[in-house]
Structure 1
Amino acid sequence: SLLSHLKRQKWANELSAGLMKEYDDWSLFCVEVEATEAGLKHVDEIVDAIYQYLHLVQQDQIAPWVFDETQSIALMNFRFRSKETPINYATSLATRMQLYPVQHIVAGSSLLYTYNPVQVESILSQLTPRRMRLTVVAKDFEGKATDVEPWYGTLYAESALPPSLIQRWESPARTEALFCPHPNAFIPHNFDLVTTPTPGKVPVLLRDDAAARLWVKTDTTFLKPKLNICLALHSPLIYQSPTSVVLTDLLVRAIKDQLTEYTYDAELAGMRYSLSFTATALELYGGGYSDKLPVLVQLIVANMVHFNMTDDETFHRLKDKTKRSYDNFERDDPYKHALYFSSCLLEDTKWMVAEKAAAIAHVTRADLMEHAAALFRELFVEAYYHGNVDAATATTLLDDALATIGARPVFPSQRVKTRAVQLASPVEYVYAIPELNVESVNSGLYTCFQLGRESMHLRATNEVFAQLLREPCFNQLRTLEQLGYIVFSSSHRAHGIEYFRMIVQSDVASPAYKNIQAVVDALLDKPKAASEECSRFWSEISAETYLFTRRQDLAAVVRTLTIRDILTFFDQFILGPNRAKCSVHLLGHQHVVPALKSELGDVDAVLGPLASIALDLKENATPAIVHIKDIRRFKLGMPLFPERPSGPVQLAK
């Protein structure tokens, strides 16, 4: 492909192409390339490659089988697409009524009807250098761009393309490195639905041993020939140190980079995948048609386990991209920085972006290869198959994946979970620093109240309290006091601990649930697609809680709540003796960080006294204020909540 060719030259990381603007009388076809630093020095050569590929397509023409294949995929996706919400469907129909004749209003935007090579040739003939506008965006042009656009004050420079370049691109040389697409091997053909003699409403456990745990739910609701596969590969090596996190990050990026050539065809055929990592596991998700999705997932697993990177140039390209993502963290919105620092304060092990930015400077390709080999040497796999699949097929698919992985089991004692820092009460902890983006005039504020270990009653009360407070919070802080263009409040939970939180600086809509019945309705709202149902169950599996009826159980508890329960919750956790509050302030450059002093003394100078001091404060409802200056030293002196216990599991009979 064109992207693969540019990657081999070390000029690009990503490429996308398609219609960007489409109107009755004109359209814009855009090719966007995410260039590397080396690619910025070869812009003309990148454009060379684009026109070489266009010229190749024009010369070879688009074969009828390409249209037939695209038509088949379009029909398949239209036939088996998930239901839309009524408002979205009505809106899209109204839009299509302006564009299509009556007989094509429903499917006109989805289906292809007749192959017309004359129209195809007409479109291709207009993709010429003389119709092109070339835009290059990079920090390298600072000082060179002197014109100012009138709306946002953006600096730019504009010039005509040299005639010699236009002539060069009009007659590009043919290269053997580029060729037209091949038939797509991922197009499914079998759309039969599986049946199960004992359909269930929740996943069932088919396997639970030292190597793996397997959950399966055969879909009997949506009746689509689709499948969702979720694999969590647990390893203690993922999050051992800042260096191991950086290497895991690089590994995930490198695997996805190598898979691009294969997964593009799969995406065209209605498949999708994601590969990410948490502090405890690599998580692979695949979704799509059950006929071909197992082929894609097996291909990805094989590429993960047999990962190999043979050249330093590719490593340095990905390393540079990863480093830039760490460096660009400072340019995020202040409220995102506030959220980030709150997790650094409240999680026992959280490697900071600054640590990762320092660690990446020293890693090598050899380090990456060694890390990959070690990571896949010992694993525990938690798997969930949801959709058009039966128990026997799911068991076989997991066996195939485990055989490909070939890892030894991880000892249960090695599978540690993240633990939450336990705040004292009634104490208010404050962490205030200048906003990381020195050019930002905005400030961000995150405030959370730690409520304790999650229970059904506590969570239900917190949900109702959060829903009742959401509109007044937004109205008071955003509309009346105008303290920020982003205002948001919600319930929150992490690592088995319940929180109520407020964020200021967010332009978020204000949905208002005004009574308990509205909360119940939201909890009992049925999933609109199999993927949504899968996501709900996978959140329980990945957290190892396995309470698949949580929403129904929670709704039952919510129904029993009274106004007295909500007032007691408020008096106890928000204003009362159990108030454990943590605030993070990111102050824009127009605000000065005040010289703050803790009422409990310098918390960074004394390690470990806060838990005992809190016992004395229990008698006093007035919260003490602790100003945190160093996150690491703060956490060294704080107790931790116990690990979140795993939920009960029982093998299917």
Structure 2
Amino acid sequence: EMRDISRTNFEWRENGDPTDFCSNAAELLFDYPPHKILIASSQSDPYNDVIAKQFFERFSPDNCIISIVQPETDMDDNVKSEDSTTTTTTTTDDKNGPWQTEPWYGAKYREVNISDELKEKWSNPDQKIDERLSLPQLNDFITTDFSLRSEDEKIVVDKGENDVDYREIPPKLLSLENNMAGLTMWHKLDQTFKVPKSYIRLQITSPNAYRSPRSMTYARLFQKVLEDDLNSYVYDATVAGCYYKVFCTPSGFRINISGFSEKLPLLLDVVVSRVMSIIQEMKEENHAENSPLSLKFDKAVENLLRETKNFRMDSPYETATYLTRMLLEDNVWHVDNYITEMEGEYFDKNPLTLQECASVVDECLSERTLVQSLCMGNIDEDGVLGVAKVIEERFLSRSRPLTPEEFPRLRSLKTPTREEAIQIFGQDVASSPIPIVVEDVASSESEENHAVEVVLQAGAEYDLGFEGTAIIELIGHIAYNSAFNQLRTKEQLGYIVSAYIKKSAGGVSSLGVVVQSASTLPDVLEERVLNWLDIFRSELEEITPERYAMEAEAIVAQLLERNMRLSDEVASSWGEILSTDPSSKRFKDPQFTRVKTIAQVLTVDEPGEGSGSDVSDIKTSADLKKKVLNFYDKYFTRDAPQRRIMSSRVYGYSARSNYEANKEKVGILSNYDDTRELKRFLSVWPSAPYWI
């Protein structure tokens, strides 16, 4: 069985990253001759009963180490080992060391020898061996059918004299039987990569998942419980090359199924069936019984709470980007909202329960929903219709399609211009180069780094259009090297320095600069970033038109780079589908040629030849330079009329006094309550796509 799996994975291995291949091949050369490095990791040696016997002889109590890790450790020197019949106590003596503290993280640990009595019991058990401790059955997910649907005579397209690049053909929208309300199915049969693999993507959109911190917490808990529940069963599928993932997002739930085509319908049915059946079991569960499902739920709560708290311990630059998001995006929940749902006074009064979790998730999945799906790869239309039938039976049988007003939309807020900030805060912010500053301090006492993120909004993609979107991408491309050279190499402010194009909810584009430093305070970092923005403007002026054309050509090459694996093509097509609004007649169709159009804007020719773009009047490299400078002057320079700038500062723990000193200052938001109040003054950017 393992030999068959290894052979299958080798024969149908797809292209990977050349750098990773070279690195792995170099390591394999230590153990294998050059002519075997391609197959070495997939080749199985013949069975040898002598080696097998020697291997199993090493499975003995005298040859084992048991590691026990738990959040809270009983510091009693008596260590108890229990089973159903005896209790063995091992005390500290010459063989069993005392509790110690490891020097790096301060964790408590000790080493305890297993008693001879317990080792004898394990070696000669007086009870019947648990029936579950046995060799598994044959793996039902091992693929035996590797036929390609693209070679079906009814499907193969005659290329004729000119070869067709099927990667250029987008997925098509299928017409479904009975006009299944609330479901759109996209399909593309792979005729390029020729592998017997398929990908199924589901987006189950619901307005209920993100309606409150509690509902989002329940969605995340359900994800963890489901994953824990399915682990033992889908392990066989994973070994055989079939994979699944169920995860929640603010817009609902997503289900990803991928792997060898023959077994994918089985895995899809297993996953979606269990999704719905576990909801029913949770509704009927009595939490007080400490049943397996209750224990999984309690474990999920504990893990999610720990992960959420650990979010506060992120690096300062990551915290800074989070603070920015909390200000710029409308209707988002703060991390403290989630923690309140899982511990504290409110949690004690209204604890999380299995039954409520099941009700919330059931409402998200099967009451008011809209489902989008993409089936791509070695799957024909009949197979896609089979997937549609599963979706209809499991999710849509009780569902009512969403109305356009119910469709969840995350939108971004407009950072105030200088005049707008004066209207909000008064004349005290008139002289400040950045009228809005969000501040926080690192939670960890050992955190020595400071960080700042400066964000300058350009606008919504709808306002920028294809030309504006292309120009800001070019600015971000050039800015990265300039910022790194000035702030990192010359000024040596810190190891983390980056300039980039920041995307926020609703398709809003901004120029972002982030710096993290152990030696420079955030307000000084902020000044250096502002100084770099002036330097960068001068650099843009000095760059020749030919250099602009060369930089644009590099972006075009990235945009038009062909997908080398089926999974890459699936990811790009699925991304375009998810950017649509199926509830809207005008915004429901994906723009699969969007990237090509942006590339056309950045493709400049010699004077007189024309770029061929019908969405931009940029024809030459000189035109491109002029457009870039005008764009920068409009949105990013100090005196730009449309300059919308804000900054997020995070102080290292040792600089907490600086943070405290800035509290109550005009224009500085020192906690999320301040941010929440400011957001009430801000208007939103349009969320319509720019390609309509």
The amino acid across from 1:203 in the alignment is: P
- Aligned in 2, Cα 1:603/1:209: closer, same or farther, shift over 3 Å? farther
Distance (whole Å) between structure 2 residues aligned to residue 597 and residue 163 of structure 1: 60
Cα distance, 1:639 vs structure 2? 0.9
* C-alpha distance in structure 2 between counterparts of 1:583 and 1:217, whole Å: 44
Once the two structures are superposed, residues 225-264 of structure 1 have per-residue CA deviations (whole angstroms, 9 ceiling, x without a partner) of 1111110001111011111111111111122121112211
**For residues 628 and 95 of structure 1, do their structure 2 counterparts lie closer, same or farther at Cα, with a shift above 3 Å needed?**
closer
For 2:487, give the aligned amino acid: L
**Alignment counterpart, residue 118 of structure 1, candidates 47, 50, 53:** 50
Shift of 1:603: 8.6
Structure 2 residue 499 is the aligned partner of structure 1 residue 489? yes
1:260-275 matched pairs, under 5 angstroms:
260-275=231-246
Aligned with 2:326 (options 327, 336, 344): 344
Looking at structure 2, the residues matched to 493 and 193 of structure 1 have their Cα atoms a distance apart, in angstroms, of: 39
Give the aligned partner of residue 589 of structure 1: 653
Quick one: which amino acid aligns to residue 126 of structure 1?
A: R
CA displacement at 1:147 relative to structure 2: 4.8
Q: Secondary structure at the match of 2:174?
A: strand
The match for 2:617 is none
Question: CA offsets per residue over residues 454-513 of structure 1, 9 Å max, x none?
Answer: 122122111111111112212322233232222222112232111221222399xxxx99
Pick from 83, 106, 113: which aligns with 1:161?
Answer: 113
Which is worse superposed, 307-316 or 273-282?
307-316
Distance 1:546 1:171 in 2: 66
- Counterpart-to-counterpart distance in 2, 1:567 and 1:186: 58
**1:495-514 superposed matches below 5 A:** 495-505=506-516
Distance 1:142 1:400, change over 3 A: closer
Corresponding residue number in structure 2 for 1:36: none
Partner residue of 2:189 out of 214, 218, 236: 218
Partner residue in 1 for 2:21: 89
What letter is aligned with 1:337? T
Q: Is the 8 A contact 1:243 1:356 kept in 2?
A: yes
Q: 1:373 to 1:91 in 2, by over 3 A?
A: closer
Q: CA deviation at 1:220?
A: 1.4
Q: In the TM superposition, what are the counterparts of 1:236-255 in structure 2 within 5 Å?
A: 236-255=207-226
Following superposition, the deviation at residue 627 of structure 1 comes to 10
Match in the other structure for 1:295: 266
**Does residue 253 of structure 2 align to residue 282 of structure 1?**
yes
Could you list the per-position Cα deviations for residues 52-84 of structure 1 after superposition, in whole angstroms to 9, with x for gaps in the alignment?
xxxxxxxxxxxxxxxxx1111111110111112
Query: Residue 472 and residue 170 in structure 1: after superposition, are their counterparts in 2 closer, same or farther (change >3 A)?
Result: farther
| Correspondence for 1:72 | 4
1:628 and 1:634 in contact (8 A); partners too: no
Question: Deviations for 1:144-200, whole angstroms, at most 9, x for unmatched residues?
Answer: 9975666x4655544341334544554566223433211111111111111235666
> What is the letter of the counterpart of residue 444 of structure 1?
A
Question: Do the aligned partners of 2:466 and 2:691 also contact (CA within 8 Å) in 1?
Answer: no
What residue is the counterpart of 2:564 in the other structure?
A: 528
> Partner of 2:555 in structure 1?
519
Q: Give the secondary-structure state (helix, strand or coil) at the position aligned to 1:500.
A: strand
Once the two structures are superposed, the pairs formed by residues 318-333 of structure 1 within 5 Å of their partners are: 318-333=300-315
Cα offsets for 1:313-359 (capped at 9, x unmatched): 33222222222222222222222222222221111111111111112
Q: Give the aligned residue type for 1:447.
A: V
Query: Is residue 180 of structure 1 aligned with residue 135 of structure 2?
Result: yes
Alignment partners' CA distance in 2, 1:128 and 1:282: 46
Given that 1:335 and 1:506 are in contact with CA atoms closer than 8 Å, whether structure 2 keeps it comes out as: no
Whether 2:361 is the aligned partner of 1:354: answer no
- Is the contact made by 2:439 and 2:668 (CA closer than 8 Å) also made in structure 1? no
SS at 1:414 equivalent: coil
- Give the Cα–Cα distance (whole angstroms) in 2 for the partners of residues 219 and 535 of structure 1: 14
Cα distance in 2 for residues equivalent to 1:124 and 1:369: 45
User: Which whole-Å CA distance do the structure 2 matches of 1:147 and 1:333 have between them?
Assistant: 29
Q: Is the 8 A contact 1:603 1:628 kept in 2?
A: no
Which segments of 5 or more consecutive residues in structure 2 lack a partner in the other structure?
77-97, 158-165, 286-290, 422-433, 519-546, 581-588, 605-620
Relative distance call for 1:413 and 1:162 in structure 2 (3 A) is same
1:385 is paired with a residue whose SS is strand
Does the CA-based 8 Å contact 1:332-1:437 persist in structure 2? no
CA contact (8 A) 1:431 1:629 kept: no
Residue 390 of structure 2 is matched in structure 1 by 400
Give the match for residue 204 of structure 1: 172
Render the CA deviation track for 1:510-548: whole Å, top value 9, x for unaligned: xx9972221111111111211111111111111217121
Name the amino acid aligned to 1:325: E
Structure 1 pair 647/127, CA: closer, same or farther in 2 (3 Å)? farther
Cα distance in 1 for residues equivalent to 2:262 and 2:575: 25
Task: Give the C-alpha shift of residue 142 in structure 1.
Answer: 10
Secondary structure at the residue paired with 1:593? helix
Aligned residue number for residue 535 of structure 2? none
Equivalence for 1:445: 452
Q: Report Cα offsets for 1:558-582 as digits up to 9, x if no partner.
A: 2246222222222222212222112
Q: Which residue of 1 aligns with 2:527?
A: none
Query: Is 1:99 paired with 2:31?
Result: yes
416, 422, 438: which one aligns with 1:431: 438
Identity across matched positions, percent: 26
- Structure 1 residue matching 2:509: 3-state secondary structure: strand
Deviates more, 1:391-400 or 1:237-246: 391-400
Aligned residue for 1:580? 644
**What CA distance in whole angstroms lies between the structure 1 residues aligned with 2:260 and 2:512?**
40
Structure 1 CA distance, aligned partners of 2:144 and 2:491? 60
Compute the TM-score of the two structures, normalised by the length of structure 2: 0.74
Letter of the aligned partner of 2:172 in structure 1? V
Say whether the 8 Å CA contact 2:173–2:187 is kept in structure 1. yes
Worse-superposed segment, 557-566 or 460-469: 557-566
What is aligned with 2:610? none
Partner Cα separation in structure 1 for residue 274 and residue 569 of structure 2:
29
CA 79–633 in structure 1, closer or farther in 2 if over 3 Å, else same: same
CA shift at 1:597, angstroms? Answer: 8.0
Indicate the larger mover: 101-110 or 515-524: 101-110
Cross-structure match for 1:231: 202
Q: RMSD in angstroms over aligned alpha carbons? A: 2.9
Tell me the secondary structure at the aligned position of residue 586 of structure 1: strand
Q: Which runs of 5+ in 1 are unaligned?
A: 1-68, 605-625, 649-653
* Superposition deviation, residue 643 in structure 1: 3.1
Which structure has the bigger radius of gyration?
A: 2
